[in-house]
């Protein structure tokens, strides 16, 4: 009942965000960094920022997240944080001995003007960065961008490690974007099934969905190794999944090491997965393996069996651009009607893509980049929907407006499963539809009068 005050009348707002549909840049940078094996993410700012970023990731992934902090106090805030960072580098390698530190800035250190690349240079000159150890960095001030741009910047920073030996390794780089650890596993499974040798980076599978073994590992077994990251410069190509999360890194590899890249949508739903599989198949020079054709057929079968329940259902969506683009296309392809689409990440090209995907619908979709959940709620009040898809924060809108709700995206703070069950690929498409059908049919059961309360649906 917390959002009952949201008014139906929409007034123009230009300098006020209410209930943001995004979170801060360093959270994305930290998540990406955890996808490198043996990496300790480092937050160059105050302890409070670091604690917030770690706890947000822990609440979503239900795993401990370790990270260092430069622990800014008043002195660092006034005179700059270089001394703190130098001390941190020394302490981290002495006490925790990671393979690599992936450092990101925060609002405060960016405002001061700290330059982490220059600090790294100084650390090397002063012998604080041990031989065979690495440090990469990303500028992630949170007064611009979002967790998505923070993720993208840290993935791009990983390309600093790429080397070009002049000898191709016969592999394809796959940049999966900000997807769940289970999605990264699924992307690797599909790639292997098609017969493509790949380097997936970052890779949080085995890091943020690991087992409880009784043995504490400061650095879990998963993650892209440094050797693999170095080898990305020798790969024969890169497939970047998602314009917002992955394209920058792919283009950087192309620029620096002439590794040609292809940017695709994230493989959520039928069509985007088809494009991903086709790109892999083309690289491998093979036909689609039977196992994958079977999975696709199962997804098509479920769509056709249950089409009557999807048909013309109105949907409101909130989340991150790459995910929303693929999901909107998926919903349109099964005859659902996305009517309101909001992301907190800036970028007008997002609005253009959503309009393009929905151009044949008999209505004009409400779409906003750099929007917020308050606006989404107002849109829903003006044009009610049958289904809401988004992160946990949507539960307030779902409760107030009594809308069936599917949790999908980041963060999910009050449910389990997202780390373990993929929603990418054809099998992931089955899971998405199972979740959507589950809430739609629960609602149908709840609202059916006794004479039409059916056993079989």
Residue labelled with tokens 């069509």: 271
Q: Is 139 in the site for ligand SF4 (CB under 6 A)?
A: no
| In contact, 193 and 291? CB cutoff 8 Å | yes
User: Strand ranges (DSSP E) for 191-260?
Assistant: 198-200, 237-241
Q: Is 59 in the site for ligand SF4 (CB under 6 A)?
A: no
Q: Is 146 in the site for ligand SF4 (CB under 6 A)?
A: no
How far apart are the C-alpha atoms of 66 and 101, rounded to whole Å?
Answer: 12
Smallest distance from ligand SF4 to CB 436, Å:
33
Q: What's the farthest any 2 CA atoms get from each other in the chain?
A: 80
Smallest distance from ligand SF4 to CB 10, Å:
27
| In contact, 138 and 156? CB cutoff 8 Å | yes
Smallest distance from ligand SF4 to CB 106, Å:
4
Residue labelled with tokens 């259902």: 313
> What separation in angstroms does the CA of 200 have from each of 177, 191, 243, 245, 371?
10, 10, 16, 14, 31
CB closer to ligand SF4, 23 vs 205:
23
Q: Is 70 in the site for ligand SF4 (CB under 6 A)?
A: no
Q: Is 173 in the site for ligand SF4 (CB under 6 A)?
A: no
Residues 280-339 that bind ligand SF4 (CB under 6 A): none
Q: What is the side-by-side strand order in the sheet with 198-200? A: 198-200, 172-175, 237-241, 261-264
Find the binder of ligand SF4 among 6, 56, 70, 106 (CB under 6 A): 106
How far apart are the C-alpha atoms of 254 and 238, rounded to whole Å?
Answer: 8
Contact pattern for ligand SF4 over residues 38 through 57, marking x by CB under 6 A: -------x---x--x-----
Q: Which two tokens stand for residue 316?
A: 């409101």
Smallest distance from ligand SF4 to CB 143, Å:
7
CB closer to ligand SF4, 107 vs 196:
107
CB closer to ligand SF4, 52 vs 421:
52
Q: Is 26 in the site for ligand SF4 (CB under 6 A)?
A: yes
| In contact, 418 and 260? CB cutoff 8 Å | no
How far apart are the C-alpha atoms of 219 and 208, rounded to whole Å?
Answer: 11
Smallest distance from ligand SF4 to CB 128, Å:
25
Q: Is 107 in the site for ligand SF4 (CB under 6 A)?
A: yes
CB neighbours (10 Å) of residue 359? 10
Smallest distance from ligand SF4 to CB 208, Å:
20
How far apart are the C-alpha atoms of 49 and 76, rounded to whole Å?
Answer: 15
Smallest distance from ligand SF4 to CB 390, Å:
21
CB closer to ligand SF4, 142 vs 328:
142
CB closer to ligand SF4, 49 vs 324:
49
Q: Is 137 in the site for ligand SF4 (CB under 6 A)?
A: no
DSSP state letters, 2-20? TTTT--SS----SS--SSB
Half-sphere exposure of 244 (CA within 13 A, CB side): 29
Smallest distance from ligand SF4 to CB 26, Å:
5
CB closer to ligand SF4, 58 vs 94:
58
Smallest distance from ligand SF4 to CB 48, Å:
7
Smallest distance from ligand SF4 to CB 142, Å:
4
Smallest distance from ligand SF4 to CB 44, Å:
10
- Site size toward ligand SF4 (CB under 6 A) is 8
CB closer to ligand SF4, 108 vs 436:
108
CB closer to ligand SF4, 43 vs 419:
43
Q: Is 33 in the site for ligand SF4 (CB under 6 A)?
A: no
Find the binder of ligand SF4 among 142, 153, 191, 198 (CB under 6 A): 142
Q: Report which of 385, 328, 387 is spatially closest to residue 353, judged by C-alpha positions.
A: 328
CB closer to ligand SF4, 45 vs 347:
45
Residues 189-228 that bind ligand SF4 (CB under 6 A): none
**Helical H segments across 44-180, by residue range:** 47-61, 74-79, 82-95, 107-112, 116-125, 147-158
Q: Is 231 in the site for ligand SF4 (CB under 6 A)?
A: no
DSSP state letters, 212-223? --S---SS-S-S
Residues 286, 298, 440: CA angle, nearest 5 degrees: 140
User: Under DSSP, is residue 51 helix (H, G, I), strand (E, B) or coil?
Assistant: helix
| In contact, 200 and 188? CB cutoff 8 Å | yes
Residues in touch with ligand SF4 (CB under 6 A): 24, 26, 45, 49, 52, 106-107, 142
């Amino acid at each position: 009942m917390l959002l009952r005050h949201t008014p139906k009348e929409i007034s123009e707002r230009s300098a006020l965000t209410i209930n943001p549909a995004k979170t801060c840049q360093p959270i994305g940078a930290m998540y990406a960094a955890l996808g490198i094996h043996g990496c300790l993410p480092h937050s160059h700012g105050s302890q409070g920022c670091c604690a917030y970023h770690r706890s947000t990731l822990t609440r979503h992934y239900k795993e401990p997240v370790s990270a260092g902090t430069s622990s800014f106090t008043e002195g660092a805030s006034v005179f700059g944080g270089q001394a703190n960072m130098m001390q941190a580098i020394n302490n981290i390698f002495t006490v925790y001995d990671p393979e690599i530190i992936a450092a990101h800035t925060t609002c405060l250190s960016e405002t001061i003007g700290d330059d982490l690349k220059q600090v790294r240079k100084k650390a090397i000159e002063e012998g604080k960065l041990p031989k065979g150890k690495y440090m990469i960095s990303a500028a992630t001030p949170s007064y611009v961008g979002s967790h998505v741009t923070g993720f993208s910047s840290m993935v791009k920073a990983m390309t600093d490690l790429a080397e070009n030996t002049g000898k191709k390794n016969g592999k394809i780089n796959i940049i999966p974007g900000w997807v769940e650890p289970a999605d990264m596993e699924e992307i690797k499974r599909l790639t292997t099934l098609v017969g493509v040798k790949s380097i997936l980076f970052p890779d949080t599978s085995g890091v943020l969905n690991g087992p409880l073994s009784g043995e504490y590992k400061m650095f879990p077994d998963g993650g892209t190794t440094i050797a693999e990251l170095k080898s990305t410069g020798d790969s024969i190509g890169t497939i970047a999944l998602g314009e917002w999360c992955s394209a920058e890194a792919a283009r950087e590899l192309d620029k620096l090491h002439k590794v040609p890249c292809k940017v695709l949508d994230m493989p959520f739903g039928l069509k985007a997965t088809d494009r991903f599989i086709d790109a892999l198949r083309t690289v491998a020079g093979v036909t689609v393996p039977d196992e994958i054709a079977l999975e696709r057929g199962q997804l098509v079968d479920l769509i056709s069996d249950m089409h009557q329940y999807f048909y013309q259902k109105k949907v409101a969506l909130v989340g991150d651009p790459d995910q929303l683009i693929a999901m909107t296309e998926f919903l349109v392809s099964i005859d659902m009607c996305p009517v309101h689409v909001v992301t907190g990440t800036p970028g007008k090209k997002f609005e253009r893509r959503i309009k393009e995907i929905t151009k044949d619908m008999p209505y004009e979709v409400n779409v906003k980049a750099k929007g917020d959940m308050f606006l989404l709620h107002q849109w829903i009040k003006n044009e009610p929907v049958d289904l809401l898809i988004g992160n946990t924060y949507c539960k307030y809108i779902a409760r107030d407006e009594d809308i069936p709700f599917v949790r999908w995206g980041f963060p999910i703070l009050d449910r389990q499963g997202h780390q373990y069950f993929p929603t990418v690929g054809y099998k992931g498409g089955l899971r998405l539809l199972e979740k959507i059908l589950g809430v739609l049919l629960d609602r149908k059961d709840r609202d059916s009068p006794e004479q039409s309360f059916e056993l079989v649906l």
